[in-house]
Amino acid sequence: NAGVTQTPKFRILKIGQSMTLQCTQDMNHNYMYWYRQDPGMGLKLIYYSVGAGITDKGEVPNGYNVSRSTTEDFPLRLELAAPSQTSVYFCASSYDGTYSYNEQFFGPGTRLTVL
C-alpha cells in the first residue's frame, strides 16, 4: 500500500491564482482530513470528510473548498490564493474518525508559497 499520497510536493503561486492540492489514499479509509501547518505551529483542521459525498468544515475553512466524489480522493481547492495561505498542507485519513481511537495516517505534505 502507498498509504496517503499528495501532489504536488512544492508549489509557488501568485496572489489571485487558483490551484488544487491532490490527496489519494489506498487504505479504504472512510475519513479524510486536510490540515495546514504554519511555521512553528501545530496543525489546524481545514475540512474533513466522513465518506464519499459528505464534507464538513474544520477550524480554518475560509478560502478553501473540498469535494469527495470517491472514497480514495479528497482534493483541496484554493480559488483566490492569498499570502496568508502560505503554509504546509497535510492530508490524512483514518478508518473511523468519530469519537475514535483510530490513528490518522498522514501524507508527506505540500509546501505552498503564495507571493
Partner 1 sequence: AQTVTQSQPEMSVQEAETVTLSCTYDTSENNYYLFWYKQPPSRQMILVIRQEAYKQQNATENRFSVNFQKAAKSFSLKISDSQLGDTAMYFCAFITNNNDMRFGAGTRLTVKP
| Distance in angstroms (rounded) separating the CA atoms of residues 71 and 112 | 25
At 72, the amino acid letter reads E
Least Cβ distance, residue 109 to partner 1 (angstroms):
5
Q: Is 103 in the site for partner 1 (CB under 8 A)?
A: yes
Binder of partner 1 out of 1, 2, 62, 98 (CB under 8 A): 98
Of 77, 107, 65, nearest to 90 by C-alpha is 107
Give the x/- contact pattern for partner 1 in 42-71, rule: CB under 8 A.
xxxx--x-x-----x-xx------------
Q: Is 106 in the site for partner 1 (CB under 8 A)?
A: yes
Do 107 and 33 contact (CB within 8 A), yes or no?
no
Number of residues forming the site for partner 1 (CB under 8 A): 26
Looking up cell 474544520, which residue turns up? 58
